[in-house]
A = this chain, B = another copy of it.
Amino acid sequence: MDQLLYGAAYYDEYMPYERLDKDISMMKKAGINVIRIAESTWSTEEPEEGVFDFSYVTKVLDACEKEGIYVIVGTPTYAIPAWMAKAYPEVMVTDRSGRRPYGARQIMDITHPAYRFFAERIIRRLMEAVKGYRCVIGFQLDNETKHFGTSSENVQQMFVRYIRKKYDGDLERFNHDFGLAYWSNRINSWEEFPSVTGTINGSLGCEFEKFQRQLVTDFLKRQAEIVGEYKREDQFITHNFDFEWKGYSHGVQPDVDHFKAAEAVTIAGCDIYHPTQDLLTGKEIAFGGDLIRSLKKDNYLLIETEAQGFPEWTPYEGQLRLQAFSHLASGADSVMYWHWHSIHNACETYWKGLLSHDLEENAVYREACCIGRQFRELSPSLVHLKKENKTAIMVSNEALSALKWFPFPADGGNTVNYNDVVRWIYDALYEMNIECDFVSTDEKELERYDMLFVPALYSAPEECLQRIKDYAARGGCVLATFKTAFTDEHVKVWSDVQPHLLKECFGITYNQFTVPFNVGLTGDSYQIPEEERKARLFMELLENGDAQVISGYNHYAWKAYAAVTRKEFGKGLCIYMGCMTSPAYLKALLTEIWQEKGWWTWKQEIHFPLIIREGRNCSGNRVTYYLNYSRELQECGSGHKGRELFSGREVDKGERLQVQPWNLLIVEEG
């Protein structure tokens, strides 16, 4: 699609009365040019086992075909009909708590043959029903697919087969690699392999979670195969990936390996939900977008985001528009709301759509009309924005899982997980207007980046560590944090000095660590207040080899140890942070590096809440977004000469730009 898509999920099935024409007309008024349908409505499409009725689907497609609205068709498989659960109760997922009762969506066993049989059949029937429609531009596989904790007997047996294959039948090596002798967990024969439901061995537990993530990838790939048998060349396949949920989209998704699962689709897609009102920062929009864009190193679809959402997210005036353009600034080619109308049914009633329950125009809808118009007008300049970021963050589902098994101590009463460490890094970059990509631990082309961040890479195979080391030797700049390179891919601690393999490049070692209580950070080169100079969360007692100590620990018992170090290694620079710090400390450190390396630009002179995001459009022109995430007017000099797109006004480089509260400017260079 060579145009920006602006749209919403649309469920004619849930409407309280016949409204299709009225809705289409209101959509067109709002500039909406795409809707997503069919997802989650299996019981309407197959009300009785083997009886199909796609009239709700074709009715909407007929209207869209006529009115020129694009449609993404979702397979309905993530919510199963009541008849299936009643007749085949074994399709309900069995997790650690037992077999789940029917009711909620997303609680079936995605591996169960009965479920897979019915899922394949409904997909094929749906594909046949929609195949003639030109308006259908693509398909969404399932929705926010997970493994739902499936761990029933059939899954246990699949896991044993998986391990047996992985170890080529060598039980001794498996026992050793997984440390099963501990507490007598040794397994002597494959048939004695117990259910891992009750395991307290983190190696086994993490491997099982990895296996469960593979089930998700397999599931999506199989759906892609089926859909692929029907789809036209010009139709895409996508999936709606989501993120670790912390009341909003927060971090790397624990239950899905996004990098692997994205192989199933032709274009990556996701949903991003985030706080608004005074808490709107753009961070979740940028984080989620940067991550999803990195999956296929290309533009992506923003398939769902809130219009009104939860009551506490009702947007202030201007915020809906600021949010929409923020997604584009990350490389999204679409902004789609979940959902068009607010649900009258007593499920997700308070996750409000563009229309409220009265289905009339309202303040948010009126703002959407403005967005739709601007999307249409500016589409040629804004679609397919390409990034050339020189900074990357390495993320890992394996590290995340392992740090769930071996969690950080609570930090002043707060639970801190892997994603909080990732976000500590990401958010500092974001606030400094340093854009970044994400890379997986399989990434082979690290050289594309000037700087690589490695937060808490607790569990990783040696090859990955070697690649990081080689990258540094060849000129890369690496910043790794505490807990990196501590265990192998089986979550067994390396038995040499920490950090394994990387001690040479970082120039430090440690064999003790503790938890900071009132421990400061020494070194006064950073002009930050005392309360921002504290070691946080975890502290490794670094013994300096040939590194340069940036900070030590300000505590009578730990004063001999280093906290943050740097070392020139090969052609590169390696920074190690033995503890978490305040954002202010981290930003001061990054400032020093950026300045030293000559990476410091006009963008770093500006900082949050005025956010700069850039890329090149299809014409090769640089497009610069100036996004104001605050209720105050913000000012800065323009980074480039060009044309401000909303006003059409030419701006000179350095010319003062005024960005209104909860508003933005876009300057296209050239």
Contacts and interface: CB of A to CB of B under 8 A. Distances in A.
A592 interface: no
A47 B557 contact: no
A493 interface: yes
Contact of A358 (B14, B347, B498): B498
Contact of A512 (B44, B363, B541, B557): B363
Interface string A69-85: 00000001001111101
A467 B112 CA distance: 53
What is the count of identical protomers in the complex? 3
Given A194-B102, A495-B16, A184 B517 contact: no
A507 B153 CA distance: 61
B316 A409 contact: no
Interface stretch (A35-43, A249-257, A386-394, A581-589): A35-43
A102 B184 CA distance: 11
A511 to B, nearest CB: 4
A1 interface: no
A103 B405 CA distance: 14
Contacts of A44: 181, 184, 186
A277 interface: yes
Contacts of A180: 43, 345
A1 to B, nearest CB: 29
Range, interface on chain A: 35 or more
Contacts of A188: 43, 47-48, 81-83
A82 B344 contact: no
B85 A194 contact: yes
- Main secondary structure on chain A at its contact with chain B? loop
A496 B557 contact: no
Given A362-B511, A495-B358, A511-B356, A179 B406 contact: no
B311 A179 contact: no
Given A317-B557, A513-B311, A357 B194 contact: no
Interface string A297-337: 00000000000100111101100000000000000000000
A277 B409 CA distance: 16
Contact of A183 (B100, B105, B356): B105
Nearest to A488: B344
